[in-house]
Amino acid sequence: MKPKKQKRVGAFVCRCGINIGSVVDTREVAAALGQRPDVAVAQEYVYMCSDPGQELIRQAVEKEGLDAVVVGCCTPNLHLKTFRKAAGTRGVNPFQVEVANIREQCAWVHQEDKAAATRKAIRIIGSLVDKAHGNRALTPAKVGIRKRALVIGAGIAGIQAALDIADAGYPVLLADRLPNIGGRMAQLSETFPTLDCSQCILTPRTVECGQHPNIELLTYAEVEAVSGFIGNFTVRIRKKATYVDWDKCVGCGICTQKCPSKVSSQFDRGLVDRRAISIPFPQAIPNRATLDAAHCRQLGRGKACGVCAKVCPAGAIDYAMQDRVIEEEVGAIVVATGYDLFAKAQVGEYGYGQIRDVVDGLEFERILSASGPFAGQVRRPSDGKEPQTVVFIKCVGSRDPEHGYPYCSKICCMYTAKQAMLYKHRVHHGRAYIFYIDVRTPGKDYEEFYQRTQAEGVTYVRGRVSRLYQEGERIVVQGVDTLVGRKVEVTADLVVLATAVTPSQGAKDLARKLNLATNEHGFFSEAHPKMRPVESITSGFFLAGTCVGPRDIPETVAHASGAASKVLALFSREALETDPVIATVDQEICSGCGLCVAACAYGARQLDPKRHKATVIVSLCQGCGACAMVCPNSATQHENFRTDQIMAMVDDLVLA
Ligand SMILES: Cc1cc2nc3c(=O)[nH]c(=O)nc-3n(C[C@H](O)[C@H](O)[C@H](O)COP(=O)(O)OP(=O)(O)OC[C@H]3O[C@@H](n4cnc5c(N)ncnc54)[C@H](O)[C@@H]3O)c2cc1C
Ligand code: SF4
Ligand code: SF4
């Protein structure tokens, strides 16, 4: 038999300026690699990723007739693509190109011992040379893209993303777990720094969504499961029963007035009651009634009532309605599930939510709102009187590791300034105090807005509030003014807490269903916080708005448009190339034990029921290698990570 021609592998070592070069002796590394009989050529250069660096690789491939290339440089996340392209222009198969990380995993962590770092760099690159010798040339398969998007969460982030995608001509499903779209912005009064009415700037968008030929609204709906992969997802969605036939309902609201069952209004943050059948606010889209079964006399309490069915002129009430589970096919998913506020009941020093006139920021937005419970007049919840003194307390929970929220909630400085200013606009003689640790106003026209708040007579007190308590009808607020080093005490009629912005309730659960990562606080994690801020780690999932972290409306809108542009970039392609670095099964050896089927988190393994052999669903396999780990017979192998390759790499690292 003709002896197998040995692969010609070239090794290239990058200095990365001083990043690698000041710790690792790259010349020594290249010289050591050049001594290896299985390395055809070894070279070092100051910036391998630069044009001259890539040209050096291209020329070496040509001159030395290389079949494979190994570059010792930074993480493959940054430049594997660059080097695959460079070598690819001279005919090297992209899967014959490897990157050995000698920056993050060597130079940066061994700055104190340069000689050891140099030895380690030789071994790391050497191990990848071994792998390269075992690599097979692979060809990606092509799969079609379903050019339809699902947006989960219909606050301003989801609305913006949906409109951008729909305006570009692609169909969008816009889902929200509430009966209407709009999210938190629908609850706000006026918005900083321009003080335009939140509903006035939101409603044109919600109306457009409701009427857009490319947008289908799926409200009162939650995602239950997602399967598939980028370009080809199948999503199972539960459409909760509204007990009102929305095709018949005309949104007249008669039922919402006649229903005898009252329940605290979630939209108005518990400041007033709504009825068991309700439309949350006048501009709601869709403007349809929803019956809350848990509080309905007929459905929840088993009493004969039926008032809404009797009064409904459209005959829309349907007490027999059931939840429906539907399946939808989409190519991209945008997550825009927004935020919640840290519950004031968790802060002991501020009365554990027991003092009626201690409210949070969103409650105060409803108090200020023209469509709120007091029609825009500032009133206290306990007795409806106009508060003469209002104390605002910032950083409640935020920047406070004790309560588990060490981060800055970012929007509170500005919305507190806005709320204090709006209070002064409505109660001219009223006194407003803001207790703060710092004032942070990094945004266009934000600093000027803060200055204006002070000019309009709002008093800023630098210091933390240590305690507040009820005294008669009023609330005593005690703290320390840290600028003058004196105790302060203010007796207020109303206290407003700027509580920490937290991930929306259920975000972790949703992340688990979608296979997405969250950070330690539960916000969705970006693929890279600086370079890929609107993508998730999992291909085909994009992130928009405050589900990633606290942000104001302008930033949310920009972020959402960024996410939409990534979806559009995906949809502009005719087909996707699947990564061929996936699992394979040797059918001769497979015993059909099924361990790999259980180990695969992506549902990419199945047992052929007739042959009792495992197979790989190529389109679902993510190449994680979990199946190869559990296979007792080594029947499952991972393309270009075969056992023989890994053992050769280990030998190089441990024994060399
Ligand atoms: C008191 C206060 C005042 C503010 N004032 C201003 C201001 O004046 N100016 C300004 O620029 N910013 C202001 N903001 C910030 C502003 O509210 C946010 O920037 C903006 O609302 C974020 O929009 P979003 O779409 O990311 O999130 P959200 O508005 O929270 O929308 C998220 C949506 O997702 C839905 N959802 C959640 N989970 C699921 C799920 N599992 N399935 C389906 N749907 C789901 C929710 O029902 C909601 O509709 C203020 C914030 C607060 C707290
Ligand atoms: S009375 Fe009937 S039509 Fe009117 S809002 Fe209620 S359900 Fe809709
Ligand atoms: S674990 Fe291995 S032997 Fe068992 S079914 Fe999967 S591939 Fe076959």
- In the chain, the amino acid numbered 426 is R
Mean pLDDT of the residues in the chain: 95
Strand 332-335, strand 149-152: pairing? parallel
Q: Which helix (H) or strand (E) holds 481?
A: strand 474-481
Q: Choose the residue to mutate in 173, 174, 185, 547 for probing ligand 1, maximizing ligand atoms within 8 Å of C-beta.
A: 185
Distance 280 CA to ligand 1 centre (A): 16
What percent of the chain has pLDDT above 70? 99
Neighbouring residues of 461: CB distance < 8 A, sequence distance ≥ 6: 433, 434, 435, 436, 479, 481, 488
CB of 558 closer than 6 A to ligand 2?
no
CB of 366 closer than 6 A to ligand 1?
no
Q: Whose CA is nearest to atom 4 of ligand 2?
A: 252
Distance 500 CA to ligand 1 centre (A): 13
Tens of pLDDT, residues 188-211: 999 999 999 999 999 999 999 999
Return d(Cα 269, Cα 372) in angstroms, integer: 10
Ligand 3, closest atom to CA 607? 5
CB neighbours of residue 21 within 10 Å: 17
Ligand 1, closest atom to CA 545? 26
pLDDT of residue 404: 82
Q: Which helix (H) or strand (E) holds 204?
A: helix 198-211
Distance 593 CA to ligand 3 centre (A): 5
What is the C-alpha end-to-end distance of the chain, expressed in Å?
Answer: 32
Q: Is residue 616 very low, low, confident or very high in pLDDT (cuts 50, 70, 90)? A: very high
Q: What pTM does this model have? A: 0.87
Task: Say whether pLDDT at 437 is over 70.
Answer: yes
Tens of pLDDT, residues 212-224: 999 999 999 999 9
Q: Whose CA is nearest to atom 2 of ligand 2?
A: 312
Check if the beta carbon of residue 503 is closer than 8 Å to that of residue 523: yes
3-state secondary structure at position 57: helix
Task: Say whether pLDDT at 1 is over 80.
Answer: no
3-state secondary structure at position 33: helix
Partners of residue 524 on adjacent β-strands: 518
Q: Is residue 501 very low, low, confident or very high in pLDDT (cuts 50, 70, 90)? A: very high
When mean pLDDT is compared across 76-80, 304-308, 576-580, the lowest value belongs to 576-580
| Nearest ligand to the CA atom of 158 | 1
Partners of residue 608 on adjacent β-strands: 613
CB of 552 closer than 6 A to ligand 1?
yes
The stretch 42-59 carries a mean pLDDT of 98
Partners of residue 378 on adjacent β-strands: none
Q: Whose CA is nearest to atom 20 of ligand 1?
A: 553
Ligand 1, closest atom to CA 418? 8
Written as six digits, the tokens of 30 are: 């290249």
Catalogue the E-assigned strands of 125-219.
142-144, 149-152, 172-176, 190-191, 196-197, 215-219
Distance 95 CA to ligand 3 centre (A): 26
Q: Is residue 3 very low, low, confident or very high in pLDDT (cuts 50, 70, 90)? A: low
CB of 312 closer than 6 A to ligand 2?
yes
The 3-class SS string of 416-464 reads HHHHHHHHHHHCCCCEEEEEECCCCCCCCCHHHHHHHHHHCCCEEEECC
Catalogue the E-assigned strands of 23-81.
41-45, 68-73
Distance 609 CA to ligand 3 centre (A): 13
| DSSP letters spanning 540-608 | TEEE-GGGSS---HHHHHHHHHHHHHHHHHHHTSSEEEPP---EEE-TTT-----HHHHH-TTS-EEEE
CB of 276 closer than 6 A to ligand 2?
no
Written as six digits, the tokens of 47 are: 């910036």
Ligand 1, closest atom to CA 190? 8
| Nearest ligand to the CA atom of 162 | 1
* Listed residue (619, 620, 570, 638) closest to 142, CA to CA: 619
Task: Say whether pLDDT at 4 is over 80.
Answer: no
pLDDT of residue 578: 85
Partners of residue 274 on adjacent β-strands: 263
Distance 245 CA to ligand 2 centre (A): 9
Ligand 1, closest atom to CA 552? 19
The stretch 276-290 carries a mean pLDDT of 96
Q: Choose the residue to mutate in 249, 277, 288, 317 for probing ligand 2, maximizing ligand atoms within 8 Å of C-beta.
A: 249
Q: Whose CA is nearest to atom 2 of ligand 3?
A: 631
Tens of pLDDT, residues 403-429: 889 999 999 999 999 999 999 999 999
Q: Choose the residue to mutate in 613, 621, 633 for probing ligand 3, maximizing ligand atoms within 8 Å of C-beta.
A: 633
Return d(Cα 500, Cα 540) in angstroms, integer: 30
Return d(Cα 7, Cα 27) in angstroms, integer: 24
Task: Say whether pLDDT at 44 is over 90.
Answer: yes
Ligand 1, closest atom to CA 501? 53
Q: Which residues of 463-499 are buried (b: 16+ CB within 10 A; e: fewer)?
A: bbbeebeeeeebbbbebbeeeeeeeeebebbbbbbbb
Distance 339 CA to ligand 1 centre (A): 6
CB of 176 closer than 6 A to ligand 1?
yes
pLDDT of residue 347: 85
CB of 271 closer than 6 A to ligand 1?
no
Distance 635 CA to ligand 3 centre (A): 6
Name every protein residue with a CB atom under 6 angstroms from any ligand 3 atom.
585, 590-596, 614, 630-631, 633, 635-636
pLDDT of residue 464: 87
The stretch 369-379 carries a mean pLDDT of 95
Distance 211 CA to ligand 2 centre (A): 20
Return d(Cα 537, Cα 533) in angstroms, integer: 10
Query: For residue 541, is it left (φ>0), alpha (ψ between -120 and 50) or beta?
Result: beta
Q: Is residue 584 very low, low, confident or very high in pLDDT (cuts 50, 70, 90)? A: very high
Partners of residue 479 on adjacent β-strands: 465, 488
3-state secondary structure at position 256: helix
* Listed residue (486, 539, 545, 494) closest to 514, CA to CA: 539
When mean pLDDT is compared across 115-129, 180-194, 421-435, 607-621, the lowest value belongs to 607-621
Tokens 């509430």: give the residue.
178
- In the chain, the amino acid numbered 157 is A
Distance 314 CA to ligand 2 centre (A): 7
Stronger pLDDT, 579 or 41, i.e. the higher one: 41
Distance 376 CA to ligand 2 centre (A): 27
Which DSSP symbol is given to 524?
Answer: B
Q: Choose the residue to mutate in 595, 611, 621, 630 for probing ligand 3, maximizing ligand atoms within 8 Å of C-beta.
A: 595
CB of 175 closer than 6 A to ligand 1?
yes
Q: Whose CA is nearest to atom 37 of ligand 1?
A: 337
Q: Is 519 exposed, middle or buried (0-12, 13-18, 19+ CB in 10 A)?
A: middle
Query: For residue 57, is it left (φ>0), alpha (ψ between -120 and 50) or beta?
Result: alpha
pLDDT of residue 6: 86
Task: Say whether pLDDT at 571 is over 60.
Answer: yes
What percent of the chain has pLDDT above 90? 90
Q: Is residue 512 very low, low, confident or very high in pLDDT (cuts 50, 70, 90)? A: very high
**Measuring CA to CA, how many Å separate 53 from each of 59, 73, 86, 103, 342?**
10, 12, 10, 17, 52
Written as six digits, the tokens of 25 are: 């002796």
* Listed residue (313, 271, 290, 228) closest to 576, CA to CA: 228
Return d(Cα 449, Cα 440) in angstroms, integer: 12
CB of 321 closer than 6 A to ligand 2?
no
Return d(Cα 436, Cα 117) in angstroms, integer: 48
Q: Choose the residue to mutate in 163, 188, 441 for probing ligand 1, maximizing ligand atoms within 8 Å of C-beta.
A: 188
Distance 251 CA to ligand 2 centre (A): 5
pLDDT of residue 656: 67
Q: Which helix (H) or strand (E) holds 9?
A: strand 9-14
Written as six digits, the tokens of 226 are: 């997602």
The stretch 7-12 carries a mean pLDDT of 97
The stretch 389-397 carries a mean pLDDT of 95
